[in-house]
Structure 1
Amino acid sequence: MDTYKEKRDLIIKGNIVKAILALAGPIMLNNLIQTIYNLTDTYWVGQLGGTEVAAITLIWPIVFFLLALGFGINIAGTSLISQYTGADDKENATRVSGQIVSFSLYFSIIIGIIGLFVAEPIIKMMGGEGRLLELASNYLKIIFAGMPAIFLFLAFTSIKQGQGDTVTPMKYSAISVALNMVLDPIFIFGLDLGVRGAALATIFSRSVFAIYAIYTLFYRKTGIQLHLKHLILKPNLLKKIIKIGLPSSLGQSSAALGFIFLNAFIISFGKSTLAAFGIGNRINSVILMPAMGIGNALATIVGQNLGADQIKRARQAVKTSAVLTTVLLTSGGIILYPFVPTIIRAFNTEPAIVSQGTFYLRLISLSLPLMGFFQIFVGTFQGSGHTLMAMFIMTGRLWALRIPLIILFKKYTDWGSSSVWYAMVLSNAIISLVGFIMYLTGKWQKKVIKKKPPLTGSEVDQNLDIDN
Structure 2
Amino acid sequence: MPGPAKLTQGSTFKHVVYMSATGAFGLMCMFLVDLVDMLFLSMLGEKEAVAAVGFASTIMFFTISLSIAVSISATALVSKAVGEGNIELAKRRAVNVLAFGIIFSSAVVWLLWPKIPHILLSIGATGRTLDLATGYLQILVIGMPAVMIGMIGSGIMRALGDARRAMYATLVGGLVNALLDPIFIFAFGLGVQGAAIASLIARFSMVAVSYYGVVHIHKMLGEFDLMDFFKDVKPICLIAIPAMLTNMSSPLANAIVMEHTSSFGDDAVAAVAVIGRIIPVVFGGIFALSGAVGPILGQNYGAGRFDRMRSAMSSAVIYAFAYCLVLCFCLYQMQDWLVSVFHATQGSADLIRFFATFVSFSFFFQSLLFIAIAVFNNLGKPFNSTLLNFGRATLGTWPLITVFSLFMGAEGILFGQAIGSVLFGCLGFYMARNYITELEAKEASEIVLSNNLHGYDDIL
What TM-score bracket applies, with the shorter chain setting the length? 0.7 to 0.9
Q: How far did residue 270 of structure 1 move?
A: 6.2
Partner residue, 2:419: 426
Q: How far did residue 31 of structure 1 move?
A: 1.3
Q: How far did residue 154 of structure 1 move?
A: 1.3
Q: Distance in 2 between matches of 1:70 and 1:116?
A: 17
Alignment equivalent of 1:19, drawn from 10, 15, 19: 15
Q: Distance in 1 between matches of 2:411 and 2:43?
A: 35
Matched, 1:114 2:111: yes
One-letter amino acid matched to 1:420: I
Q: Distance in 2 between matches of 1:116 and 1:390?
A: 29
Matched, 1:36 2:32: yes
One-letter amino acid matched to 1:5: G
Q: Distance in 2 between matches of 1:438 and 1:104?
A: 30
Aligned length: 440
Matched, 1:78 2:75: yes
Q: How far did residue 362 of structure 1 move?
A: 2.1
Matched, 1:234 2:201: no
Instruction: Write the mapping of 1:356-367 to structure 2, written as runs, cut at 5 A.
Output: 356-365=351-360, 367=362
Alignment equivalent of 1:142, drawn from 139, 144, 150: 139
Alignment equivalent of 1:296, drawn from 273, 291, 294: 291
Partner residue, 2:311: 316
Structure 1 294/141 Cα, relative in aligned 2: closer, same or farther at 3 Å?
closer
Q: Distance in 1 between matches of 2:50 and 2:43?
A: 9
Matched, 1:5 2:7: no
Contact 1:84 1:90 (8 Å CA) reproduced: yes
Kindly provide the CA deviation profile for residues 83-126 of structure 1, in whole angstroms up to 9, marking residues without a partner as x.
11111111111111111110111122222333443345545656
Contact 1:291 1:372 (8 Å CA) reproduced: yes
Q: Distance in 2 between matches of 1:201 and 1:417?
A: 33
Contact 2:328 2:356 (8 Å CA) reproduced: no
Partner residue, 1:453: none
Structure 1 444/293 Cα, relative in aligned 2: closer, same or farther at 3 Å?
farther
Contact 1:288 1:372 (8 Å CA) reproduced: no
Alignment equivalent of 2:196, drawn from 196, 199, 204: 199
Partner residue, 1:370: 365
Deviates more, 1:58-67 or 1:329-338: 329-338
Q: How far did residue 391 of structure 1 move?
A: 1.6
Contact 2:51 2:270 (8 Å CA) reproduced: no
Contact 1:80 1:385 (8 Å CA) reproduced: no
Deviates more, 1:378-387 or 1:126-135: 126-135
Q: How far did residue 153 of structure 1 move?
A: 0.9
Partner residue, 1:155: 152
Contact 1:364 1:425 (8 Å CA) reproduced: yes
TM (norm. structure 1) is 0.82
Q: Secondary structure at the match of 2:145?
A: helix
Instruction: Write the mapping of 1:208-223 to structure 2, written as runs, cut at 5 A.
Output: 208-214=205-211, 216-218=213-215, 220=216, 222-223=217-218
Q: How far did residue 12 of structure 1 move?
A: 0.8
Q: Distance in 1 between matches of 2:31 and 2:227?
A: 35
Partner residue, 1:395: 390
One-letter amino acid matched to 1:205: A
Contact 1:299 1:381 (8 Å CA) reproduced: no
Q: How far did residue 198 of structure 1 move?
A: 3.5
Instruction: Write the mapping of 1:429-440 to structure 2, written as runs, cut at 5 A.
Output: 429-440=422-433
One-letter amino acid matched to 1:373: L
Q: Distance in 2 between matches of 1:418 and 1:197?
A: 32
Q: Distance in 2 between matches of 1:366 and 1:121?
A: 35
Q: Distance in 2 between matches of 1:424 and 1:120?
A: 27
Partner residue, 1:102: 99
Q: Distance in 2 between matches of 1:232 and 1:122?
A: 38
Q: How far did residue 185 of structure 1 move?
A: 4.2
CA root-mean-square deviation: 3.3
Alignment gaps of 5+ in structure 2? 444-460
One-letter amino acid matched to 1:207: F
Structure 1 426/137 Cα, relative in aligned 2: closer, same or farther at 3 Å?
closer
Q: How far did residue 203 of structure 1 move?
A: 2.1
Structure 1 373/213 Cα, relative in aligned 2: closer, same or farther at 3 Å?
closer
Structure 1 99/375 Cα, relative in aligned 2: closer, same or farther at 3 Å?
same
Q: Distance in 2 between matches of 1:357 and 1:201?
A: 27
Q: How far did residue 312 of structure 1 move?
A: 1.0
Matched, 1:245 2:256: no
Q: Distance in 2 between matches of 1:189 and 1:338?
A: 31
TM (norm. structure 2) is 0.83
Structure 1 398/257 Cα, relative in aligned 2: closer, same or farther at 3 Å?
closer
Structure 1 444/229 Cα, relative in aligned 2: closer, same or farther at 3 Å?
farther
Kindly provide the CA deviation profile for residues 245-276 of structure 1, in whole angstroms up to 9, marking residues without a partner as x.
11110121122022111222244466665555
Structure 1 360/35 Cα, relative in aligned 2: closer, same or farther at 3 Å?
closer
Contact 2:185 2:191 (8 Å CA) reproduced: yes
One-letter amino acid matched to 1:62: I
Structure 1 232/124 Cα, relative in aligned 2: closer, same or farther at 3 Å?
farther
Q: Distance in 2 between matches of 1:280 and 1:82?
A: 34
Partner residue, 1:225: 220
Contact 2:371 2:429 (8 Å CA) reproduced: no
Matched, 1:65 2:58: no
Contact 2:392 2:420 (8 Å CA) reproduced: yes
Q: Distance in 2 between matches of 1:421 and 1:113?
A: 34
Alignment equivalent of 1:381, drawn from 376, 379, 383: 376
Partner residue, 1:463: none
Contact 2:83 2:301 (8 Å CA) reproduced: yes
Alignment gaps of 5+ in structure 1? 451-468
Structure 1 345/118 Cα, relative in aligned 2: closer, same or farther at 3 Å?
closer
Q: Secondary structure at the match of 1:150?
A: helix
One-letter amino acid matched to 2:71: N
Partner residue, 2:85: 88
Alignment equivalent of 1:307, drawn from 295, 299, 302: 302
